[in-house]
Structure formats: C-alpha cells, structure tokens
C-alpha cells in the first residue's frame, strides 16, 4: 500500500475538475486503488465543489426533444454494452489468440491445444458477431434519431382527452416529411387486461389505423413508423383504447380516444 | 449536497445496471440542466451541447458500472464524463483555438441566471458560489476557471499562466479549499 502524501490532495483537486494530465491521473488512480481514506474524503469534497462551480453558470434551457432521443436510444441498448467511441473507460477485453505450433512432441498435447484453439476461435467469432449486431442496432437507432433531428421535422404534442382515464397519458410525435418516417414517444399507456391501445393517423377528419401500441411495464412506448403516408395531409395523431388485438376495422376506432395531438409545422 | 442525494443517485445507477430506463429518466431530469449549462459553456453552442449530452447519457446507460463511489459523488462523475465528451467534440470540431481566444475575454464571473423559475434555490446557491469565487485569490480563481470552464489540462493552464505545473496544482487545491471555507457548510455535506 502506497503511503498517503499531501501532494496526492493536490491531485485530488485536479481529478475532481477533470483537468489532471494523464500521468498524474494514472498515478492518483493507482494510489486510490490501494485504498486511502484521506484521498477519498478529499475527492468527495472536491467533487461537491465541482458541482457547485458548474451550478454557478447561467441557467440554460435544454430542448425537450433531447430526453426523447436519449430514452429511445437507451431502450434499444442493453446496459453494459460496449461503447463505440473512446470514452476513457476501461478497454474491452480482447481474446488473445496464440499462433499454433507446427509440430508437437506429444500428439495428445497437440490435440488439446487444437481443441483450445478451436474454442478460443469460436468465442472470438461469437464476440465479433455480438459487436456486429450492436453496430447494426446503433445504425438503426441513428436512422430513427435522424427523424427527430430532421430540418423540416413536424411535431405533435399528444395530450389526454376528457375520455382518458388518467391525466398521466402523454406523448410526442416527430414526422420527417422527406422520408415519411415518424417516431412517437408515449407515456402512461399501460393497457388494462384484455385491452390494447391503438394508434391512428387523422387525415381530412378521417382516422386510419397505424397499429397497436406496445408499452413496457412502466407504460412507456416508442412507436416507429417506416411510412406514415403523405405528410402534407397528415393532420393529427390519436390513440384509442380498443379490445385485445385492436379495432375490427382500420378506419374507425371503437373505444374511447384517450390521446390526441395536432401535427404542427 | 445532502448525503441522501448521493444515496438517491447511487440507487439510480444501481437500477440503471438492471436495465431500468425510468432510473435513467430520473437521473436525466435531475442533472441535465446542470450538465447542459456546463457543456454549453465549453462548446459555446446549444446544438453541440445537446448532441454531447445525448452521448453522455448513453455512456451513463452503458457504463454506469464504471462509477466508483470512492472517487467522488455521482454528480461529480457525471460532470467529469460530460467535460470529457465536450472536449472530444471540441477537438473534433477543430474549434478549440477559437474558443481559447474567446475565453481570454470571457473569464469574468458569469452573469446571473436569466430564468427565475428554474429556481430560486439553484439561483441562490449559484449566486453564493459566484460571490465566493470573487473572494478567491485571483490566481487561484483563474486556475480553476480556465481549467474547468475552458477545458484546459493543468499543464495547459501552467503554460497559459506561465507558471510551473506544481503551482497550478497548489492553486487549484487551495482555491477549492478556500471555497469550502467561504460557502455554508450545508452545501458540502
């Protein structure tokens, strides 16, 4: 265990601000890894100081769409999945493959190593496939995030109707007229047993079914529509509470409409 | 920060590790205003700050296990992640030189918050911190501000101020410890 020295406290101050040079950061983290109550206490205090400093800046208003973007992206990524960009976190573990020898003094040892090599290769291949799958998912998320960031994107705020059972129903829709894709983020849409929520597009006063809404256990749902139809005639979105499986006809909700929002822009 | 706040934040991170998106939403709501002001100060652009914060929260979602409570608070960790991401974007935008030039004229204490609704409490704390900063030795204040708000490493700060690196380290520690003396004790618990 390395002994605590006062100069480590200097490093703790820079660490809390994130301004330590790499060599100092590594030196301090090695010391911290061995355990040092004095430095841990200093880091706790200095990190509170860092928060207070950041809080001294003028308050700024962040766009409301950011939350949706984050939650949509998080919904498709499992926690702990490897990052695709450098973030200073520890590197991913990589299987080290040894080059097999050409001859073996003992055949059994050779077969054993061959089997180990095969297992390692299979594991490596499995990890490669996982990375490829993650990349495909990430690209898919980027494609949908582009809907919300599109320059001419049209927005709709969905609010509960008087027929809604709960005021916690809410939603937001983004439509990219150029690609005709749409993303809707809905909250509070936990369907009662034996019922389903169904999404509708309203054009010229007439509803058109867009499909069922599948929410998670918290009532949060993200609906992605590859082609929402002609954006020029799209007036509003609505959500109705239907029998299990949805309304029997695609142009007339049978249950109460609980959410509705006009498409602006 | 009250101890319960740290406990609540750590509990959120533990829930995030189980895949609980609501926990991510809670942490997002609690800290995005703070992180946004901080990142925007570094990047000087609201759009870049939002894109950076999206990366920050996805990193939190992916890598919440990298938080180590022995190395500071959750808020401090979030700010460090945000600062690091903001600097990555800064460099990729090749705008650092311009920003450093701007920072020469922007090192004065920031103006008061414009939006009173965003909170009286936060506003009062911010005002107290600004007043405390104004009472610091100017060299200590400058070393802290250009490192934290302009994204310079300590060796870059030393070069900027034309002083030895060890001096910058001491000024940073002394400045933060002086802040602790100047601000009410409840802000540090």
List the one residue out of A154, A200, A199 whose CA is nearest residue A175: A154
Confirm or reject contact between A38 and chain B (CB < 8 A).
Answer: no
Give B66-113 pLDDT, tens digit per residue: 898 889 999 999 999 999 999 989 888 765 455 555 454 444 434 333
In chain A, residues with a C-beta closer than 8 Å to the C-beta of B28 are 67, 70-71
Confirm or reject contact between A23 and chain B (CB < 8 A).
Answer: no
The sign of the CA dihedral A6, A8, A13, A19 is positive
Q: What pLDDT, on the 0 to 100 scale, is given for residue B112?
A: 36
The sign of the CA dihedral B124, B181, B149, B85 is negative
The CA distances from residue A34 to A6, A11, A47, B66, in Å, are 16, 16, 20, 17
Confirm or reject contact between A79 and chain B (CB < 8 A).
Answer: yes
Q: Which helix (H) or strand (E) holds B100?
A: helix B96-105
Please, what are the averages of pLDDT over each run of 10 residues along chain A (265 residues)?
78 96 93 90 93 90 85 77 44 32 52 74 71 68 76 87 79 90 88 92 90 86 88 92 90 89 88
In chain A, residues with a C-beta closer than 8 Å to the C-beta of B40 are 60
As a whole number of angstroms, the distance between CA B172 and CA A22 comes to 17
Q: What pLDDT, on the 0 to 100 scale, is given for residue A212?
A: 92
Confirm or reject contact between A26 and chain B (CB < 8 A).
Answer: no
Contact A240, A257 (CB under 8 A): yes
In chain B, residues with a C-beta closer than 8 Å to the C-beta of A78 are 19
In sequence order, the 6+-apart residues with CB closer than 8 A to the CB of A221 are: A184, A185, A186, A187, A189, A197, A213, A214, A215
User: Considering CB atoms only, which of A10, A24, A77 is closest to B170?
Assistant: A10
Confirm or reject contact between A108 and chain B (CB < 8 A).
Answer: no
Q: What pLDDT, on the 0 to 100 scale, is given for residue A93?
A: 33
User: Considering CB atoms only, which of B36, B85, B148 is closest to A19?
Assistant: B148
Span B13-23, average pLDDT: 89
Q: What pLDDT, on the 0 to 100 scale, is given for residue B163?
A: 95
The distance from CA B100 to its chain's CA centroid, rounded to whole angstroms, is 18
Phi and psi, residue A179, nearest 5°: -105, -10
Question: Closest-CA residue in chain A for B115?
Answer: A59
Percentages (nearest 5) of helix, strand, coil residues in chain B: 80, 0, 20
Count the residues in chain B. Answer: 189
User: Considering CB atoms only, which of B50, B129, B172 is closest to A14?
Assistant: B172
Confirm or reject contact between B123 and chain A (CB < 8 A).
Answer: yes
Q: What pLDDT, on the 0 to 100 scale, is given for residue A188?
A: 85
Confirm or reject contact between A89 and chain B (CB < 8 A).
Answer: yes
At residue B116 the predicted structure's pLDDT band, cuts being 50, 70 and 90, is very low
As a whole number of angstroms, the distance between CA A1 and CA A15 comes to 20
| Nearest chain A Cα distance for residue B22, angstroms | 8
CB contact under 8 A, A78 and B19: yes
Top residue of A27, A29, A34, A48 to mutate, by most chain B CBs within 10 Å, is: A48
Span B23-43, average pLDDT: 94
CB contact under 8 A, A19 and B147: yes
Q: What angle do CA A95, A99, A105 make, to 5 degrees?
A: 125
In chain A, residues with a C-beta closer than 8 Å to the C-beta of B43 are none
In chain A, residues with a C-beta closer than 8 Å to the C-beta of B165 are 21
In chain A, residues with a C-beta closer than 8 Å to the C-beta of B23 are none
Confirm or reject contact between A20 and chain B (CB < 8 A).
Answer: yes
In chain A, residues with a C-beta closer than 8 Å to the C-beta of B178 are none
As a whole number of angstroms, the distance between CA A148 and CA B164 comes to 48
* Whole-complex ipTM: 0.83
Give B145-169 pLDDT, tens digit per residue: 999 998 899 999 999 999 999 999 9
List the one residue out of A193, A202, A204 whose CA is nearest residue A241: A193
The CA distances from residue A262 to A180, B49, B92, B109, in Å, are 17, 29, 39, 44
Contact A21, B155 (CB under 8 A): yes
| Nearest chain B Cα distance for residue A246, angstroms | 27
| Nearest chain A Cα distance for residue B75, angstroms | 7
At residue B54 the predicted structure's pLDDT band, cuts being 50, 70 and 90, is very high
List the one residue out of B144, B150, B134, B128 whose CA is nearest residue B176: B144
Phi and psi, residue A239, nearest 5°: -130, 130
The CA distances from residue A1 to A25, A30, A36, in Å, are 18, 10, 9
As a whole number of angstroms, the distance between CA A131 and CA A139 comes to 12
Question: Closest-CA residue in chain A for B180?
Answer: A49
List the one residue out of B50, B48, B167 whose CA is nearest residue B96: B48
Check residues A95 and B133 and name the one with the higher pLDDT. B133
């Amino acid at each position: 265990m390395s002994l605590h020295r006062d100069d480590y406290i200097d490093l703790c101050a820079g660490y809390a601000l994130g301004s330590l040079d790499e060599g100092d950061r590594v030196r301090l983290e090695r010391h911290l890894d061995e355990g040092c109550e004095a430095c841990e206490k200093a880091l706790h205090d200095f990190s509170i100081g860092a928060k207070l400093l950041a809080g001294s800046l003028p308050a700024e208003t962040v766009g409301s769409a950011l939350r949706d973007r984050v939650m949509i992206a998080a919904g498709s990524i499992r926690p702990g999945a490897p990052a695709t960009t450098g973030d200073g976190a520890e590197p991913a573990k990589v299987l080290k493959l040894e080059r097999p020898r050409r001859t073996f003094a003992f055949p059994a040892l050779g077969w054993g190593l061959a089997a180990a090599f095969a297992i390692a290769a299979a594991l490596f291949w499995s990890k490669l496939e996982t990375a490829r799958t993650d990349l495909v998912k990430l690209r898919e998320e980027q494609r949908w995030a582009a809907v919300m960031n599109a320059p001419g994107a049209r927005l709709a705020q969905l609010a509960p109707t008087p027929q809604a059972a709960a005021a916690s129903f809410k939603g937001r829709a983004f439509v990219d007229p150029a690609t005709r894709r749409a993303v809707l983020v809905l909250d509070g849409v936990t369907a009662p047993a034996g019922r389903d929520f169904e999404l509708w597009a309203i054009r010229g006063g007439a509803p058109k079914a867009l499909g069922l809404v599948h929410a998670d256990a918290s009532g949060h749902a993200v609906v992605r529509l590859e082609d929402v139809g002609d954006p020029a005639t799209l007036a509003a979105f609505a959500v109705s509470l239907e029998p299990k499986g949805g309304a029997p006809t695609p142009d007339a909700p049978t249950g109460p409409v609980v959410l509705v929002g006009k498409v602006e822009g | 920060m009250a101890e319960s706040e740290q406990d609540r934040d750590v509990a959120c991170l533990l829930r995030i590790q189980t895949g609980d998106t609501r926990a991510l939403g809670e942490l997002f709501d609690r800290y995005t205003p703070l992180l946004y002001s901080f990142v925007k100060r570094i990047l000087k652009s609201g759009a870049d700050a939002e894109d950076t914060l999206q990366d920050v929260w996805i990193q939190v979602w992916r890598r919440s296990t990298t938080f180590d409570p022995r190395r500071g608070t959750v808020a401090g960790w979030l700010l460090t992640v945000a600062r690091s991401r903001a600097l990555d974007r800064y460099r990729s935008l090749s705008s650092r030189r311009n920003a450093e030039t701007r920072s020469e004229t922007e090192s004065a204490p920031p103006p008061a918050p414009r939006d009173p609704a965003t909170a009286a409490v936060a506003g009062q704390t911010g005002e107290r911190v600004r007043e405390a900063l104004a009472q610091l030795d100017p060299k200590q204040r400058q070393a802290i501000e250009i490192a934290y708000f302009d994204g310079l490493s300590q060796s870059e700060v030393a070069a900027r101020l034309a002083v030895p690196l060890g001096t910058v380290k001491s000024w940073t520690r002394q400045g933060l410890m002086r802040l602790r003396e100047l601000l009410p004790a409840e802000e540090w618990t």
